[in-house]
Structure 1
Amino acid sequence: MSAANLTAKYRPRTFAEVAGQDAVKAILSRAAETGRVAPAYLFSGTRGVGKTTIARIFAKALNCEKAPTAEPCNECAHCRQITAGVAPDVIEIDGASNRGIDDARRLKEDIGYAPIECRYKIFIIDEAHMLTREAFNALLKTLEEPPARVTFILATTEAHKFPATILSRCQHYAFKMLPQAEIAAHLEKILRLENVDFETGAVQIIARRASGSVRDGMSLLGQALAFGGTRLAESEVRGFLGLAGQDVFFALMEVLQARDLPGVVLLLRRILDQGLDLGFFLRELSGCWRNMFLLRQAGDAALSALDLSAEEARAWGEWAVRFQPGHIHACWQMTLESQRRILTSMEPAQALELLLLNLASLPDLVDMETLAPAASSAPRTPSAATPPRPAPRPAPVPSPTSPAASRPAPAPSFRAESRAEAEPETEPGDDAEPDPAAPEVTGPDPAAQPDWGGFVEFLVRKNGQAESKIPGLRQLSGALEGRTLVVHCPTSYLANRLSAPECLKALTRFTREYFGPDMSVRLDRAPEAQQRRSLDELRTEAMEDQGVRRVLESFQAKVLNVEPRRPG
């Protein structure tokens, strides 16, 4: 028996015979019974969930000789014609083959004619998302206000490709993927009608492999019957589908629990030699971790949420207690997250091997939480791998208005300071607020002599306030001349920016906070001629440098680019 014959033979003929989609069936049956028919319907959902089947049943319910009725009789001439696909007033169109604007125009011409025999003229357009934009535009007015007794049913697997103008003119019904239990019940009913003996495990495997599609389940069932004859056995279904049995997963849990890495590799090689479906293997492996986690955490209370027999539940419950709950949960999460990466990898076998080896090695990984107390109490020694922590910030000092701040500042002593000794810099946004937990810095460290380097460090410690108000702080240099701070600007552009009233006012305020209240600020503009030299002049100067010439001669190199030297 072929899958096509099996699907056609048991295609539902009434709403009651359709598996799942209870809400959609109830609404359409009520509409057919009361005569409240919409101009256009849109049925969307994945393949094999009953969109075209329900569209035909709805067409029969509207045109049945006993209409208005909630269910078609399937005995009158109209119902038999629609079932056979020869009804003159129920036109089924393939959207992929009739997608152009010319096809849409011919469809509009056919709509103008009244029904020949039936009560309603119904157009069922399958794969309607394949229509072109021009065809959709040609149907806009027709879908909104079709002639009396005309109804459109658009079926699609990709509703997101429909223009919003089409969606707004249709009653949209989203068909759901069927649960595994409903597909299994539907397949068992067909097997009983065919008088075929079957094992429940075999039906469950086919239903799980169908992934919510009744048509896929029917197709797999047809293949299984053709392969196994008059009896449907679980071992034979696993064999022709390329699926691993429970013994394989029990063996896998054995090597994972023992952390037997060579055993993992050998077991995976045996799995691959059997030609198993890696995608379904990963799905079943994640299901195993799920079952073990629920059994480990909830015990017998979780049996109602698991699709397991009593014997399987007992076996997996015994395995669940041999793993720690955290280990099971981590394996479950890693398996789920690795499915797409493994199936799309250039080396899926190696990717799966890496996953299984990681699952086996999880208990050997270091638990950072258990090491945290010991690490915090142990003395820290700087090394190349662990750089030393920066020095703590200095303690707060009195503000300029306090008596201590009014004492004369010590004589300036200029010294070169390494920038690496300064505290790490932070660069918050212009509107950043200072950290309320950080100490407020209002003056220099009493143990340090005030100079330009200390002034820059003082500005940096102000949580970015100074850097946001003093542009180009890193490019400036300065010197004390009596009670005046002379700020050297490397460019005229930067000097112009600092000359702005707001910048100059902020610079003066910070200077008095650091050096003393009687300080003043003067900007020293660099000569313009030194700042605007051409690239040719810079290249000539570089080529005349003795160091540059020795480098070029030693390494057989050449100068590719020349840039002005940045201050500091």
Structure 2
Amino acid sequence: MARAGLTAKYRPQTFGEIIGQDFIKKILSRASQQDSPASAYLFSGTRGVGKTTTARIMAKAINCLNGPGLEPCNQCSSCQQITRGVFPDVMEIDGASHTGVDNVRRLREDAVYVPMSGRYKVIIIDEAHMLSTAAFNALLKTLEEPPRHCVFIMATTAPEKFPATVVSRCQHYVFKMVGLEELTAHLQQVLEKEGLEYDSEAVRLVAARGAGSVRDSMSILGQVMALGGDRLDSGSVREVLGLAGHEVYSAFFQSILDRDLVEIHKGISLVLEQGLDIGFFLQEFASCWRNLFLISQCGQAAREILDLPLEEFEFWLEMSGKMPAPRIHAGWQMVIEEQKNILRSHEPSLSLELLFFNLAYLPDLLPVEQVQIKSSESKKTSVQAGRAEKKSPAPARKLKDQPKKTSGPENRESVPAKDLDWAGFIEFCRKSPDADESLIRMLGNCTGRKQDQTLVLICGQDFIFDSIQKNGRRKIISRLAEEYFGPGLRVEFVSNGSKSNSAFRDEAMNHPVVQKIIKDFDARVLEIKKVQDRPGFPGNE
């Protein structure tokens, strides 16, 4: 058989050969063993997960001459005829070409007659959601009170198009997408039977491109095998399917970190010139942000979750130390949200470039509270001023309570009293060897307020608060605060995000300033947080 027919060549012939769907296989196999099938079944799920194949196996199992049993024998004349599609008591029709009432009427007439060769007459309707409303209504009575010798099996990818009256008369089973590990193992078995050597990474790429569909994965595998050669390697798979490698994504992340727009433009041009699949490229790009976020939060423990080669894992581990967790999380969310917009865009290349440029300058996005709307000129001036003054991901704010100079011995001469504010503390931490760049950026997204011998550190978001509690950062901040503000200082960590609620969010979204910004700039809200001691904003009155 030609390699192009891999799907038909390796189509399962028993319940045990079906990939995944263990729960469904167990129920149907038991019904076959007890010779008590339901009068009507509804199989739903995405394409290529085994709905029609399972229906055919069920037809063989309940009509097997050596049955009833858990599996069809595939040796008797009934099983072999059903496999070839010539068994007189098994009818398989396409719902897309039999949509009318007349077609359903003929089915009802055929269902009345007793089987000619088997125990049951099985009617399989593929893509059954294509039936018209009138056809469904004509089928209702037969589904509710079918002949004892007749079994209806309907397969569909759109169960939401079925009338509720039809679904209620069927046993409805939802076929799930096949997991990546199961799909990879199945493809490896196919390659071993074909006598072809392979790289594990190459097979995994094919399985990932199949997106949970066995049929799609087999078709892609046949396409790659058509290239020829004695071995299936990842380079060939990427070349045939138009997939980018790890080196492409690592180069993009480095360019985003360096804000090198020229290199970003060159990388995007190379992706487009090579004809890579933009949809799958963005899927893998979003997966890179997910991997980066998990590694930034879990460290080496993330290896238990992520199945990555050691070299790739070490790269993402190093990169996670160069980007703060808020930026990684926001970048991940931005890529996911923009996928569909880029694919639907009339200029996908420009939309893709805009996404990457936004990712590079993500730390410079202005918080809403920094924009004041007075006139068209004041809008332009405030935005330009914000960009000029913002040299770090988040501006440092002055402490509300300035420490006073004292003549006592506790006053340290090494740090002038006029510098003992939050901005000075961040600068002090930046010069300290104990504080890495990630910690500095976290502090930049926080606000500090000194009250007597207590420094209240307010984290703008919950995940910043959680990150500070890990990897000894809390002790480092407390020690540096004592060195800067003086001994005996106690640091209290507070999450401002945990104080937010739905009422506060609704009030903020309905604020006239926010509404005017959204309307004038066609903007969207990235973050809502409380701002301390800023009159005129929601939550501070």
Q: Does the TM-score normalized on the shorter chain lie above 0.5? A: yes
Instruction: Trace 1:46-57 onto structure 2 (pairs within 5 A).
Output: 46-57=46-57
* 1:262 corresponds to 2:262: yes
Please name the residue that 1:300 is paired with.
300
Please name the residue that 2:208 is paired with.
208
Contact persistence 2:363–2:394 (CA under 8 A):
no
Contact persistence 2:3–2:225 (CA under 8 A):
no
Which amino acid is the alignment partner of residue 47 of structure 2?
R
1:300 shift after superposition: 2.0
Please name the residue that 1:16 is paired with.
16
Which amino acid is the alignment partner of residue 243 of structure 1?
L
Partners of 1:144 and 1:229 in 2: CA distance: 56
Contact persistence 1:3–1:220 (CA under 8 A):
no
Please name the residue that 1:315 is paired with.
315
Please name the residue that 1:248 is paired with.
248
1:316 shift after superposition: 2.2
Q: Deviations over 1:134-186 (max 9, x none)?
A: 11111111111111211000001111111111111100001111111111111
Instruction: Trace 1:325-474 onto structure 2 (pairs within 5 A).
Output: 325-366=325-366, 371=395, 373-374=397-398
1:130 shift after superposition: 0.8
Partners of 2:29 and 2:227 in 1: CA distance: 39
1:230 shift after superposition: 2.8
Q: Deviations over 1:394-449 (max 9, x none)?
A: xxxxxxxxxxxxxxxxxxxxxxxxxxxxxxxxxxxxxxxxxxxxxxxxxxxxxxxx
> SS of 1:227's equivalent?
coil
* 1:36 corresponds to 2:56: no
Please name the residue that 1:117 is paired with.
117
Instruction: Trace 1:494-505 onto structure 2 (pairs within 5 A).
Output: none
Instruction: Trace 1:265-284 onto structure 2 (pairs within 5 A).
Output: 265-284=265-284
Instruction: Trace 1:286-297 onto structure 2 (pairs within 5 A).
Output: 286-297=286-297
Structure 1 outlier segments of 4+, above 6 Å: 375-378
Partners of 1:178 and 1:104 in 2: CA distance: 33
* 1:95 corresponds to 2:86: no
Contact persistence 1:180–1:208 (CA under 8 A):
yes
1:310 shift after superposition: 2.8
Contact persistence 1:125–1:153 (CA under 8 A):
yes
Unmatched tracts of structure 1, length 5 or more: 379-568
Please name the residue that 1:541 is paired with.
none
Which amino acid is the alignment partner of residue 173 of structure 1?
Y
1:377 shift after superposition: 9.5
Identity within the alignment, %: 54
Please name the residue that 1:73 is paired with.
73
> SS of 1:49's equivalent?
coil
Partners of 2:87 and 2:4 in 1: CA distance: 22
Please name the residue that 1:482 is paired with.
none
Which amino acid is the alignment partner of residue 248 of structure 2?
V
* 1:195 corresponds to 2:211: no
Please name the residue that 2:238 is paired with.
238
Which amino acid is the alignment partner of residue 253 of structure 1?
F
1:4 shift after superposition: 4.6
Which amino acid is the alignment partner of residue 353 of structure 1?
E
> Could you state the TM-score of these two structures normalised by the residue count of structure 2?
0.68
Please name the residue that 2:227 is paired with.
227
Q: Deviations over 1:243-290 (max 9, x none)?
A: 111111111112111111122112111111111111111001111111
Contact persistence 1:3–1:219 (CA under 8 A):
no
1:364 shift after superposition: 3.4
Partners of 2:321 and 2:41 in 1: CA distance: 53
Moved more, 311-320 or 94-103: 311-320
Partners of 2:401 and 2:276 in 1: CA distance: 52
> SS of 1:99's equivalent?
coil
> SS of 1:57's equivalent?
helix
Unmatched tracts of structure 2, length 5 or more: 371-392, 403-541
> SS of 2:74's equivalent?
coil
Which amino acid is the alignment partner of residue 99 of structure 2?
R
> Could you state the TM-score of these two structures normalised by the residue count of structure 1?
0.64
Please name the residue that 1:131 is paired with.
131
Contact persistence 2:28–2:58 (CA under 8 A):
yes
Contact persistence 1:40–1:152 (CA under 8 A):
yes
Moved more, 228-237 or 26-35: 228-237
Which amino acid is the alignment partner of residue 126 of structure 2?
D
Contact persistence 2:4–2:223 (CA under 8 A):
no
Which amino acid is the alignment partner of residue 53 of structure 1?
T
Partners of 1:254 and 1:209 in 2: CA distance: 26
CA separation of 1:163/1:74 partners in 2, compared to 1, >3 Å: closer, same or farther?
Answer: same
> SS of 1:25's equivalent?
helix
Q: How many residues align?
A: 378
Q: Deviations over 1:65-86 (max 9, x none)?
A: 1211011111111111111111
Please name the residue that 1:106 is paired with.
106
Q: Once superposed, what is the RMSD of the aligned Cα atoms?
A: 1.9
Partners of 2:113 and 2:307 in 1: CA distance: 54
Q: Deviations over 1:486-522 (max 9, x none)?
A: xxxxxxxxxxxxxxxxxxxxxxxxxxxxxxxxxxxxx
Which amino acid is the alignment partner of residue 120 of structure 1?
Y
Partners of 1:243 and 1:128 in 2: CA distance: 35
**Structure label with greater radius of gyration:** 1
Contact persistence 1:7–1:219 (CA under 8 A):
yes
